[in-house]
């Protein structure tokens, strides 16, 4: 990927991650902090997302990209569980609370699209490159 | 000796990755501290004459004799002492139900006498299902029903806030139930209010689906809440579940209060919501009172849950 384009993608991904963090922080401040286990999980997601978003603006380290993808996957997994079998006894319906849940989903899918796909591709290229070098 | 690893990363790369991971951890902890600090609700000035301040207590269960709390009367007395020790005199104290455990006349008499010791402008109540065990709330209304309509519901205005006290426990099957008469009361009650009036609704059983399997929901609450959708801020305060819990649905925020008697399990922990006996010394931390404040012009209420001192 061309460097300027990769930089733009990384900045957009950082913005989306920060957006997801903001929504989780907002929900945490507006009451979710009282929910056992879910409250601390929202706090961790929010502070982790802000932290990784800031660092992504500085570096494209694979560690940061993996952390960003992990945070997005964690939030999406929590959303899915809370709408199906429940998460630590916590359940919610559909896209409540609105509009936070829908916006958060959008941000997290964007992070996955912008970071997970290139991450997998880079990893695949690295493995192939090593095999070629070893064979040559 | 070389720091290069032909099968993986170099030592320098490993150190760089570790540094970024460490930076992420440090920033996450710092961010968590900042957000937690913001979450601490600011105190409403004690001497602000325009501020509305009230206290919610819930589920005192006077008459309960189980191992989860062998001295519920003493715990409730502690809660009253804690309310009276606040640095301000609350405009009112609301007890959100299950004042008694078996709704005997002696238990109602005792709880009424104890609450008469509260240093507040008004003592208000809504009934829990334990307050209408064998008479659909008849004895409850004898003791606490003055000035209420129908099964004991009522509303009032104070310092720019409209309050509604609902009864969803006296004709319940499994879930809480309001009934047609009470729904009509709510509809008419708010019809003349402007949409920027903050609304506070009290009930015993949650008006949201906290855990319907255990009866922690009200089957016709959606209808009641539909009359409140146009308001900018609606706050629903309930008891019944003996634990703090919060949920936001659009313009409505629900706050479940803890108890002054004994804890119940978290939703889904175990087959039924039976009293939980905590290890010695840990009961007080599960009990508490709730302070609520509001300054005119704002939309949100400031809510502080306090452990029983």
Test mutation, B22, B26, B32, chain A, max A CBs within 10 A: B32
Confidence at residue A18, expressed as pLDDT on a 0 to 100 scale: 96
Taking the C-alpha atoms of residue B124 and residue B289, their distance in angstroms, rounded to an integer, is 15
Contacts of B246 in chain A (CB under 8 A): 30-35
pLDDT tens digits, one per residue of A84-98: 887 876 777 788 787
pLDDT score for B294: 86
Cβ contact B209–A93 (<8 Å): yes
Token digits for B225? 């809440």
Full 3-state SS string of B231-247:
CCCEEEEECCCCCCEEE
A-chain residues near B305 (CB < 8 A): 34
Q: What is the pLDDT of residue B26?
A: 93
Contact flag A44-B32 (C-beta cutoff 8 Å): yes
pTM over 0.80: no
Phi-psi sector, B297: left (phi>0), alpha (psi -120 to 50), beta: left
pLDDT at B2 over 50: no
Q: Choose among B24, B31, B248: nearest Cβ to A31.
A: B248
Share of chain A above pLDDT 90, in %: 49
Is B24 in Cβ contact with A52 (below 8 Å)? yes
Residue B1 has pLDDT above 60, yes or no: no
β-strand partners of B55: B93, B291
Q: What pLDDT, on a 0 to 100 scale, did the predictor assign at position A92?
A: 75
Task: Label residue B299 by pLDDT band (50, 70, 90).
Answer: low
How much of chain B is helix, strand and coil, in % rounded to 5? 30, 20, 50
Q: Residue A119: is its pLDDT beyond 90?
A: no
- What is the per-residue pLDDT for B3? 46
| Residues B68-88: tens digit of each pLDDT | 999 999 999 999 999 999 999
CB distance from A127 to chain B under 8 Å? no
Contacts of B265 (CB under 8 A, 6+ apart): B273, B274, B276
As a whole-number percent, the residues of chain B with pLDDT over 70 amount to: 94
pLDDT higher for B50 or B200? B200
A87 Cβ under 8 Å from any chain B Cβ: no
Question: Sheet containing B252-256: which strands, arranged edge to edge?
Answer: B154-158, B161-165, B199-203, B234-238, B252-256, B245-249
Chain B residues with CB-CB distance to A35 below 8 A? 245-247
Q: For residue A82, give how far its alpha carbon lies from the nearest alpha carbon of chain B (Å).
A: 12
Mean of the pLDDT values across residues B38-50? 67
Task: Check whether A33 has a pLDDT greater than 80.
Answer: no
H-helix or E-strand spanning residue B52: strand B51-57
Query: Chain B within 8 Å of A72 (Cβ-Cβ)?
Result: no
CA distance B294 to B160: 9
Q: Which of B188, B120, B119, B117 is nearest to B153 (CA)?
A: B188
Q: Is the pLDDT of residue B18 over 70?
A: yes
Cβ contact (<8 Å) for A28 and B32?
A: no
């Amino acid at each position: 990927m061309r460097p300027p384009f990769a930089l733009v993608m990384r900045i957009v991904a950082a913005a989306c991650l920060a957006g997801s963090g903001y929504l989780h922080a907002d929900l945490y401040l507006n009451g979710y902090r009282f929910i056992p286990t879910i409250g601390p999980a929202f706090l961790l997601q929010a502070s982790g997302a802000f932290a990784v978003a800031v660092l992504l603006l500085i570096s494209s380290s694979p560690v940061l990209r993996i952390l960003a993808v992990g945070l997005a996957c964690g939030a999406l997994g929590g959303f899915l569980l809370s709408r199906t079998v429940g998460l630590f006894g916590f359940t919610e319906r559909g896209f409540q609370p609105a509009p936070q849940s829908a916006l958060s989903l959008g941000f997290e899918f964007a992070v996955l699209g912008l970071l997970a796909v290139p991450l997998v591709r880079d990893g695949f290229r690295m493995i192939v490159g090593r095999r070629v070098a070893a064979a040559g | 000796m070389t720091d290069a690893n032909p099968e993986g990363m170099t030592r320098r790369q490993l150190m760089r990755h570790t540094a970024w991971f460490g930076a992420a951890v440090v920033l996450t902890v710092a961010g968590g501290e900042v957000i937690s600090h913001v979450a601490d609700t600011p105190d409403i000035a004690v001497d602000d004459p325009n501020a509305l301040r009230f206290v919610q207590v819930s589920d005192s269960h006077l008459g309960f004799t189980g191992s989860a709390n062998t001295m519920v009367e003493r715990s409730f007395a502690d809660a009253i002492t804690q309310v009276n020790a606040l640095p301000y005199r609350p405009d009112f104290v609301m007890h959100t139900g299950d004042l008694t455990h078996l709704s005997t006349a002696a238990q109602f008499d005792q709880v009424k006498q104890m609450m008469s010791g509260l240093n507040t402008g008004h003592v208000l109540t809504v009934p829990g299902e334990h307050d209408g065990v064998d008479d659909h709330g008849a004895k409850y209304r004898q003791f606490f029903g003055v000035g209420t309509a129908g099964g004991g519901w009522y509303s009032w205005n104070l310092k720019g806030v409209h309050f509604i006290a609902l009864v969803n426990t006296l004709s319940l099957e499994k879930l809480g139930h309001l009934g047609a008469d009470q729904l009509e009361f709510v509809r008419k009650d708010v019809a003349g209010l402007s949409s920027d009036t903050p609304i506070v609704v009290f009930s015993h059983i949650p008006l949201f689906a906290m855990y319907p399997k255990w009866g922690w929901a009200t089957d016709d609450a959606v209808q009641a809440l539909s009359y409140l959708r146009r308001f900018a801020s609606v706050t629903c305060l309930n008891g019944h579940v003996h634990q703090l819990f919060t949920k936001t649905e659009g313009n409505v925020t629900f706050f479940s209060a803890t108890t002054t008697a004994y804890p119940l399990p978290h939703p889904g922990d175990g087959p039924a919501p039976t009293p939980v006996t905590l290890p010695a010394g840990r009961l007080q931390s599960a009990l508490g009172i709730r302070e609520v404040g509001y300054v005119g012009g704002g939309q949100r209420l400031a809510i502080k849950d306090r452990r029983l001192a």
